[in-house]
Chain A
Amino acid sequence: MASPEIQTAVQEAVVGALGVGEDEATPDATLMDDLGAESIDLLDILFRIERSTGVKIQASDLGDYIQGGMSEEEFGDGSGNVSRKGLEHLSRVMPQIDADEYEGKLEAEKVISHFTVQNLADMVAERAGAAAG
């Protein structure tokens, strides 16, 4: 769980980069679908977080975090949906995703569209914890 400081830093980064209101950048808001972030915005958000927290996350790390280091074959079920193993991992890093509910229904390509402000804060907290040892 992200500390209040990290939670605030992430929300401020989202608000600053996307020009949305604090009332819009809620923990449950998805970065891409709800708040309209594009790839350049994600980069901006990650640079702002690095400046305020010292936690460096590359844009290319997001996919690895979401996919848990699994290969495409492990993460997908062969028909483009997230596999059971992939869903079980997702339910840890994106707890709003219920593995049972989404089984056979969640396209691997669309997982990123479910990534929320809270998910990003949790990722930053995890990286901060890892950096602290």
Chain B
Amino acid sequence: MPSVQGPQPASQLTVQVGVDIVGVERIARLVTAHPGAVEALFTPAEQAYCLRKRRKHEHLAGRFAGKEAVLKAIGTGMRRRMRWIEVEIVSGEAGRPRVQLHGEVAEQARLRGLRDLDVSISHSDGLALAHAIAVCDHDSNPGGARAVSPD
């Protein structure tokens, strides 16, 4: 007798948001006072994109807000062994920002079952704002270890 299967259990997908706002002047002061901060915070591709802009500090602040928003959406914050350059925000089609994760951040995202990630960035009047959305599959989350996170 053929068996009839009922509805499959829904996957444990969750949508997690992260938002961050950064003062453009705060970033400008940091990178002006400490030139090494640019290398610590931004990948070569991010630097190439932002530093050629007339209002480069606005773009750097936007990228930084984007990184913070992504880490909040994933649910880790900035924790040990993570580096800012491991959240890379590059320009996709029509200038839309696209996120690429590397190293420890990518590993922590994998542990949390990250399936999809999107970010939007805006800046105006001395402030940069970013909003990130992460879709995580908790069925594929093997437990997601906790750790110290200076966020």
Contacts and interface: CB of A to CB of B under 8 A. Distances in A.
Interface of A: 32, 39-40, 42-44, 47-48, 51, 58-60, 62-64, 66-67, 71-73, 75-76, 80, 107-109, 111-112, 115
Interface in B110-151: 145-151
A57 B25 CA distance: 24
Nearest to B34: A47
B30 A43 contact: yes
Interface in B41-99: 41, 64, 68, 77-84
Interface of B: 22, 26-27, 30, 33-34, 36-37, 40-41, 64, 68, 77-84, 145-151
Nearest to A76: B146
Name B's interface SS: loop
10 contacts: A40-B22, A40-B64, A44-B30, A44-B37, A47-B33, A60-B82, A63-B149, A64-B80, A71-B145, A76-B145
B146 A59 contact: no
Name A's interface SS: helix
Contacts of B149: 63, 109, 112
B10 to A, nearest CB: 26
B146 A108 contact: yes
Contacts of B33: 44, 47
Choose among B33, B41, B64 the residue with the greatest number of A CB atoms under 10 Å from its CB.
B33
Contacts of A107: 146
A60 B87 CA distance: 14
A66 B151 CA distance: 14
Contact of A43 (B41, B77, B81, B145): B41
A40 B56 CA distance: 18
Given A40-B27, A109-B146, 11 more contacts: A39-B68, A39-B77, A44-B34, A48-B34, A60-B82, A62-B150, A63-B79, A66-B148, A76-B145, A76-B146, A108-B148
A111 B64 CA distance: 24
B148 A112 contact: yes
A108 B33 CA distance: 33
A115 B151 CA distance: 13
B73 to A, nearest CB: 15
A107 B151 CA distance: 15
Given A44-B34, A47-B34, A51-B34, A72 B83 contact: no
Given A43-B37, A47-B33, A47-B34, A59 B147 contact: no
